Each structure stands twice: as C-alpha cells, then as structure tokens.
Structure 1
Amino acid sequence: MSREALVGGARPCQADGRGRPLRVLPTDPRPVTTLIVWCDGAARGNPGPAGAGSQLTTPDGEVVAEISQGLGETTNNVAEYTAAILGLERARELGATEVLLRSDSQLLINQLVGVYKVKAGHLLPLYRRVQQLASDFGRIRFEHVPRERNAEADRLANEGVDAWLTSGGR
C-alpha cells in the first residue's frame, strides 16, 4: 500500500516501490544550474525506524524541492546515504550542473571526500551510487555542517520516520 503526502499544489508522486511514503514539492519549470542539497538521515535506534530528508535550495536560499521518505528499519548511516542519494537524484532531475551537498554526518562527508574508507560492506553500494550521481554534475562539493545548520533536512528525515511509523511500518 503506498501513500503520498503532498505539499501545497504538488502533484502526486510515485512511491519507492515498497509502499514507503515520499513527499516532494512542486517543481518550477525554470532550469536551476546551481543547487545546495541539505541532507540528513534519522534512525530511532540503530538499527531502528528510519527516514531520509533532503532540502534543495538555490545559493540565495530559495527552497526548490523537499524530500521526506520513510525507510523502514535500518541504520543511521544507511539513512544518511539515502538522504544524499535522494537529494542528488532530485538535483539531477532539476537540471543542476553544480551542486554543494551539505550534511551533518561526519562519516558520510569524510567517506565521500576520501578521508575515511568505506569499511562497512552494506554501505558500499550506497557510496557507489552517490559517486555515480556525483559524476552527472559538472562540479560537486561535499561539506560538513553543524547539526544546527541542517535543521530543515533533519525535520524532513524525522517526518519520514513519523510517516513510516504512522503507516503501520509498511
């Protein structure tokens, strides 16, 4: 059973194929070349009920898209990677050529910039997917930000957890 939560005049979107809630904002038909992807994952327990959230903004702060998705039972690191993937996929759909991905996850950012190796085997496919998406942009940067600067992505990630729990964990 799939469920979509819509914002404003947003059109319905497809679920992720497993019936997990997904939310997007309506898109502006004007192309945006530079985007900031704010992403965060949340897990209540590790592993536990999890969600991913991404907010895409222009460099001047205009919100272009928001994504909130329940992930089921998984780890915080899987949720962090999933949030990055969802945000980068949306940036690509919007035609971005330059992306700044910001996250409060030191592990995520340090793995993406090569400071840390990806040692956990279950994260490797997610890491590779981010790298694959990164190659779609003319320029991409990864930046660690303090948690308090990532509040909107955190809100979206927690909304994903709440939506999954409200749906009865389906």
Structure 2
Amino acid sequence: MTDLIIEADGGSRGNPGIAGAGALVRNTDGEILATKAVPLGKASNNVAEYTGLIEGLKLAREIDPAASVEVLMDSKLVVEQMSGRWKIKHEDMKRLAAEAASILSPMQVTYTWIPRAKNGDADALSNEAMDASAAGTDWDPAASRVG
C-alpha cells in the first residue's frame, strides 16, 4: 500500500547548463502536501534528476518517516538505477543514488516510470528552479504555479 506519492523531475538547459530540480509529495487522494524547487546553478540533467528525487524523499520523510512511498519520475535512468535493474557506473550518480537510498529505507520505496506528459507539476517546479538559477536567485514558493 502506498501512503505517499512523490513526483520528481530535474532539468538542465544545456548539458551541463543552467539546472534545477523539483519535487512534490501527494497523499493517496492526490492532494499536494509539500513542494520544493532547487536551483542548481550549472549541472548535468542527470544530477538535476537525482536532486529532484532526493528532495522529494526528504519531503516525504518530513511528512511521515514510516510511510510507504511510490516515486513517479519520467527519468528512465533514475527509475531503473534506483530499482536496481541498471548498474550505476558514473561516480557522481553512485554518490547521489546512495544519498537517495539513505533517506528512507529502500523497503519503503517503489519507483515507477511515467511519461513526461504525466509529470507536469514536477516539471513545472524544475522549470521554476531553472528560472531562479538563471536569475541567480532562490526559488520563491509563494510565486510557484504548483501547490
């Protein structure tokens, strides 16, 4: 049974380039419980995707550290690597994956790939983060279009 749903995304305008990550947590009724967007400065798309995952897991842990969590992402790479089906070869990705796996017990978390079209809220948050990154500012949750 899933208690919380994380939707996460990350992006980079250029690879590497201006990057940002976004995540949100929903309850099983679809209500958004928390959102976060993180401007990353210059980073790769994969670093941004993993950062979105990490931030989403942290939000879920703050809400309920004992919850069963389903992570929805449009990054096939992150979903497959975190599910253990694909090897992680790059050292930065190994570090980020280990950080993500340490936030909640891997027994609590499942990973599901979704098409980009179904990840609109997390994509919007990652774009807000990239906009803030490009402007050299922090993300303003009060100005967010999500939540």
Alignment TM-score > 0.5, same fold: yes
Matched, 1:116 2:119: no
User: C-alpha separation between the residues in 1 aligned to 2:137 and 2:101?
Assistant: 34
How far the C-alpha of 1:167 sits from its partner, in A, is 2.1
How far the C-alpha of 1:133 sits from its partner, in A, is 1.5
Within a 5 Å distance, the mapping from 1:14-29 to structure 2 comes to none
| TM-score between the two structures when normalised by the length of structure 2 | 0.87
What is the aligned-residue identity percentage? 39
Matched, 1:130 2:67: no
Partner of residue 53 from structure 2, selected from 76, 84, 107: 84
User: C-alpha separation between the residues in 1 aligned to 2:30 and 2:137?
Assistant: 35
How far the C-alpha of 1:138 sits from its partner, in A, is 5.9
Structure 2 residue matching 1:56: 3-state secondary structure:
strand
User: C-alpha separation between the residues in 2 aligned to 1:165 and 1:55?
Assistant: 22
User: C-alpha separation between the residues in 2 aligned to 1:77 and 1:167?
Assistant: 21
Structure showing the higher helix proportion among its residues: 2
| TM-score between the two structures when normalised by the length of structure 1 | 0.76
User: C-alpha separation between the residues in 2 aligned to 1:139 and 1:124?
Assistant: 20
Could you list the structure 1 runs, at least 4 aligned residues long, displaced by more than 4 angstroms after superposition: none
User: C-alpha separation between the residues in 1 aligned to 2:98 and 2:125?
Assistant: 24
Q: After superposition, what is the alpha-carbon deviation per residue over 1:50-109, rounded to whole angstroms, capped at 9, x for unaligned?
A: 000001101111010111110010000000000000000111011141100110000000
Partner of residue 39 from structure 1, selected from 2, 5, 8: 8
Structure 1 residue matching 2:119: 3-state secondary structure:
helix
Q: After superposition, what is the alpha-carbon deviation per residue over 1:110-137, rounded to whole angstroms, capped at 9, x for unaligned?
A: 00111110011111110001111131x7
Structure 1 residue matching 2:86: 3-state secondary structure:
coil
Tell me which structure has the larger Cα radius of gyration.
1
Aligned length, in residue pairs: 136
Structure 1 residue matching 2:28: 3-state secondary structure:
coil
Matched, 1:107 2:83: no
RMSD: 1.6
Matched, 1:152 2:121: yes
Q: After superposition, what is the alpha-carbon deviation per residue over 1:36-59, rounded to whole angstroms, capped at 9, x for unaligned?
A: 000000100000000000011011
Of structures 1 and 2, the one with the larger relative CO (CA 8 A, separation 6+) is: 2
User: C-alpha separation between the residues in 2 aligned to 1:116 and 1:141?
Assistant: 15
Q: Indicate conservation of the 8 Å contact 2:61/2:104, yes or no.
A: no
